[in-house]
Amino acid sequence: MPFKRIFPAHRRQSTNLFVRCAFLALFLGVAPVAACAQDLIVFAAASLKDALDQNVVSFERDTGNKAAVSYAASSALAKQIENGAPADLFISADTDWMDYLAERKLINSVTRVNLLKNQLVLIAPAKNTIQVKIATNFPLAELLGGGRLAMADPRYVPAGKYGRAALQTLGVWDSVKNRIAPAENVRAALALVSRGEAPLGIVYRTDALADARVRIVGEFPPNTYPPIIYQAALTARSVHPEAANLLAFLSSAEGRAIFRKYGFQN
Amino acid sequence: MLALTPVEAEALRLSLRVAFWSVAGSLPFAVLVALLLARIDFPGKSLLDAVVHLPLVLPPVVIGYVLLIFLGRHGPLGEMLENVFGIVVAFRWTGAAIAAAIMAFPLMVRAIRLSIEGIDRGLEAAAGTLGAGHVWIFFTVTLPLAMPGVITGVLLSFARSLGEFGATITFVSNIPGETQTLPLAIYTFTQVPGGDAQALRLSVIAVLLSIAALIVSEIIARRAIWRVRGHDIKY
């Protein structure tokens, strides 16, 4: 092997020293990272983005513990947990996906709580000034014109499922079911309307409040869709000592106040 | 068991359609750009080379996002297309084809460029001395000699277009029958409870399709090399 050619004797000492120093620096660099405790990992429904971010900041300020939050559709998160993702806390936008994990014994059922409520609204880009009275057989298809109705995918994302249920109850689902732009999660649907790509969209009230470039043009009567209940639970495999504290914080007066500020109800 | 459900058949048909048009639409541009990069030196050549290769190294979501900004209904290009030509690409299979074409473009250019660079320029010079003009030389000497690279580029980019996901889902969403190509359908099935079996079936189809495309590419390329050089590539 060309070791002797690459490292001739007169160079070997300095090279040796260099290599040793490099390894030392590497270990010194890596050691602090390895010594740090793992951050809490939270998997949360996409619609919780702004409110939960602020809650996590308050939690860190109060207790000194950090949490990393992954936001996505509750369906995507549940599937990831099923496949072994290392989440400590799961917050779902509907009970179906929490049940899905409970059936597979992937959550700590004792810790399961109802956390928040929300409402469904119809939105349009901010410069559109229409008002829509949402009632049975309201002319949604005509209002769409040539465009598509942006909503979270009605097959599996909670926001989409609630939306489809509402449209079915109102008798307009068949007229628009081929005119949907299914989005990966409710925030993606919000972005489509915000950007003007879709003339109308169905999102949670809290999402509409979070984006100044959309306005609420109609509210779905609560009796047209199942109650929107966000549930939270610790995962079965979580061993992080602070996970239970975070859940307690979110349910506490301070946590609830922050959620209420963003438009959620308790 | 072997028959496809309507949803699966639709995803497959849409994938093939999108991939075909993505390749057909980008081929003339790819040949032009490959010729430019292979033959001509000009200021900014490295920049063009880098830009052409961007889709290979950028996250596909970025490409999809940029497309959304420019070709969306309110984007500068999108509005022009809609007002002047009446063409809308947002949420349509044409948008999916554009996204796939951009992602596969670098592969096509690389293959064609390599092939053009390998051509004996003496042959082109000889044709010139016999009185042929540049364009005539290109179509009767250069292009036929570069054919193995062109075929490889076409089939590589076809296979890449079949598998395009990130840019497609960001730009044109996931609409069954319109933009839900094979990769998007597989993704959707992985999200639906109990959809894992269908996701697996579609994955198998995707793998078989890609293998078929690559094998055909290899066979046609070798036959083209045989015709062009009179012998196999080995010697």
Report yes or no: B114 and B35 within 8 Å, Cβ to Cβ: no
What is the nearest CA distance from B56 to chain A, expressed in angstroms? 24
The pLDDT of residue A2 is 66
Task: Tell me whether residue B156 is in a domain.
Answer: yes
Q: What is the dihedral of CA B159, B162, B164, B170, to 10 degrees?
A: 160
Quick check: A182 and B174 CB within 8 A? yes
Calculate mean pLDDT across residues A59-88: 92
What is the rounded average pLDDT for all residues in chain A?
Answer: 88
DSSP type of residue A38: P
The pLDDT of residue A19 is 65
What is the nearest CA distance from A222 to chain B, expressed in angstroms? 26
Phi, psi values for residue B79, rounded to 5°: -65, -40
In terms of Cα–Cα distance, which of B211, B147, B154 is closest to B22?
B154
Calculate mean pLDDT across residues A69-78: 93
Calculate mean pLDDT across residues B39-49: 94
Quick check: A197 and B193 CB within 8 A? no
The pLDDT of residue B115 is 92
DSSP type of residue A235: B
One-letter amino acid identity for B123? L
**Quick one: residue A113, left, alpha or beta (phi over 0 = left, psi -120 to 50 = alpha)?**
beta
Question: Lowest mean pLDDT: which of A1-10, A73-82, A176-185, A233-242?
Answer: A1-10
Using one digit for the tens of pLDDT, what is the confidence trace for B171-218?
888 888 889 999 999 998 888 878 888 899 999 999 998 898 888 888
Distances (CA, A) of B108 to B37, B128, B155: 13, 28, 9
Residue to substitute from B91, B171, B179, interface A, most A β-carbons within 10 A: B91
Q: Which helix (H) or strand (E) holds A233?
A: strand A228-234
Please give the Cα distance from B156 to A67 (Å, whole number): 44
Does residue A26 surpass a pLDDT of 80?
A: no
* Residue B8: CB atoms within 10 Å: 18
The pLDDT of residue B11 is 92
Alpha helices in A119-252 (DSSP H): 140-144, 158-169, 173-176, 186-194, 205-210, 243-251
Task: Tell me whether residue B166 is in a domain.
Answer: no
Please give the Cα distance from B37 to B130 (Å, whole number): 26
Calculate mean pLDDT across residues A17-31: 59
At A32, is the pLDDT very low, low, confident or very high (cuts 50, 70, 90)? very low
Question: Lowest mean pLDDT: which of A23-27, B73-77, B102-106, B152-156?
Answer: A23-27
Task: Tell me whether residue B65 is in a domain.
Answer: no
Domain count, chain B: 1
Task: Tell me whether residue B139 is in a domain.
Answer: yes
For residue B100, what are its two tokens? 């796939």
The pLDDT of residue A33 is 45
Does residue A118 surpass a pLDDT of 80?
A: yes
Q: What global pTM score does this model have?
A: 0.80
Using one digit for the tens of pLDDT, what is the confidence trace for B115-162?
999 998 999 999 999 988 999 999 999 999 998 889 989 999 999 999
Domain that holds residue B112: 6-58+103-161+179-229
Report yes or no: A124 and A250 within 8 Å, Cβ to Cβ: no
What is the nearest CA distance from A77 to chain B, expressed in angstroms? 9
Q: Which residue of A has its CA nearest to B177?
A: A178
The pLDDT of residue B86 is 81
Q: Hey, is A90 helix, strand or coil?
A: strand
Residue carrying the six token digits 């996970």: A243
Does residue A1 surpass a pLDDT of 50?
A: yes
Does residue B111 surpass a pLDDT of 90?
A: yes
Of B72, B191, B192, the CB nearest to A197: B72
Q: Hey, is A108 helix, strand or coil?
A: coil
